[in-house]
Homo-oligomer: A and B are copies of this chain.
Amino acid sequence: MAEARITPRSQDYAQWYQDVIREAGLAEAAEVVRGCMVIKPHGYAIWEKMQADLDRRFKATGHENAYFPLLIPLSFLAKEAAHVEGFAMECAVVTHSGLKSVDGVLSLKNELEEPYVVRPTSETIIGHFFAKWIDSYRDLPLLINQWANVMRWELRTRLFLRTGEFLWQEGHTAHATHEEAKEEVRRMLDVYRAFSEEIMAVPVIQGVKTDNERFAGAVETFCIEAMMQDGKALQAGTSHDLGQNFGKAFNVTFQSEKGEREFVWQTSWGVSTRLVGAVMMAHGDDDGLVLPPKLAPIHVVIVPIWKSDAEKAEVCAAAHKLAAELRDDGLSVKVDDRDNMRPGEKYYQWERKGVPVRIELGPRDLASQSVMIKRRIAPLDANGKPMKEKLAMDGLGVALGKVLDEFQKFLFERALAFREANTVSVDSWAQFEQVFAGEGSKFVWAHWDGTAATEKAIKDATRATIRCIPHPGHGPKAESGVCVKSGQPSRQRVLFSKSY
């Protein structure tokens, strides 16, 4: 089967994204189910790596996993006014149970007394159970996480970034005081930031959302925002201070140490399969996917090189022996010994899939007890060709471990440098409009007067939105100024960008 071409990013970024997803075998649109996707094995393996690392972090911070029903009674959704406002239009609704077949044609059988919605998020159903489980201050804090699928039928969908159904985790916690809940919100935002930077190699800006961008039902929404290679922002994780909103809606109360009945303070926080899209768009290039080693299902692919059958037998045996040794060193290794494909084609396929390191192993390498390795992104030699490196067989596992650590660091630093090169402070409306003209986007630090009206005027004019009001240390030094649009006073710069 001939490989299809990957459209260069510079030519059509959106098409590049689709091409890489297809060529790397990450996912495909499930065109028969509105807005949904199939996550193919390579894409799912990346999500599994994300899950394993996040789950470890959640448990280390005291959370336990549980599982709540997929279906939520319609009336539950209506109990928190802002919440239903935010999610009602996107809900899939179950109205019937059972089908009857007449002459092979299926029709609906039993209408339900009350319809259910397929969960778009689980604050309401979990609130219902928290009310049953929490009785005293001794039951608090209650720290729960759920790994689940959710559905939000939105009009415009895009693989991984915005799909009708997606996979995610949703943390839900209840606390005795607002201060404790706020600490939890910050703690989990920190967990997300650390995960994004250490594992995904994607630097993020953290801060708080404006009223307009807040989660439906929250008091405050905190977020981490990452820059993609087209200069747009991707919201990579959110952590919500729910105040007592859901506590009041679902009557979640506890007896305090003083013996008084009080509403609990709640939080929720989540990240989803959209992170697979974030990794793609942060690191991928015109040759395909580029994976940070900590998320790579395969760290190293070994491609044996042979000319004769005798050579084939020798190098393939050596390749499998080497793979077994490297696996003992904790590396995930694939030997590609297919005999219906030339080495060059194999290189090409594994590059598209983003494997961080390739090993070429031929008879000459065996003789010299060394291997040639090539990083997925390598420095260029004098002729502009990516350099290969010669490594001794002896101690190869340790040496490759070092190469992978370097590559992880390289990707983070490259992404950080890219973001810095594409971040500007803007003080005039003309310059602001210029940055966001056409398909253009950067991260823009600009003063804003704090009103929803100005926020909307800026969005209508440029499609740029306020990604967050940065936390101290996560943006430019606090300084007062005047709003880039209205000229009214501003206390600090906020982050503007177009976004996914």
Contact = CB atoms under 8 A, between A and B. Distances in A.
B68 A30 contact: yes
A377 to B, nearest CB: 26
A88 B99 contact: yes
Interface string A61-80: 00011111111111111100
Nearest to A92: B94
A84 B118 CA distance: 23
A50 interface: no
- Counted per complex, copies of this chain come to 2
A16 to B, nearest CB: 23
Given A30-B125, A38-B66, A71-B92, 6 more contacts: A38-B129, A41-B144, A78-B106, A89-B109, A93-B98, A149-B149
Contacts of A41: 64-66, 144
11 contacts: A28-B129, A41-B64, A75-B106, A88-B99, A89-B99, A90-B97, A91-B97, A92-B97, A94-B94, A95-B96, A96-B115
A150 to B, nearest CB: 10
Given A44-B65, A65-B41, A72 B33 contact: yes
Interface in A94-125: 94-101, 104-106, 108-109, 115-118, 125
A94 B97 contact: no
Given A99-B77, A117-B99, A67 B38 contact: yes
Interface residues on A, range: 35 or more
Contacts of A84: 99, 101, 106
Given A67-B38, A99-B117, A74 B106 contact: yes
A226 B462 CA distance: 65
A115 B104 contact: no
Contacts of A90: 97-98
Nearest to A149: B70
A241 interface: no
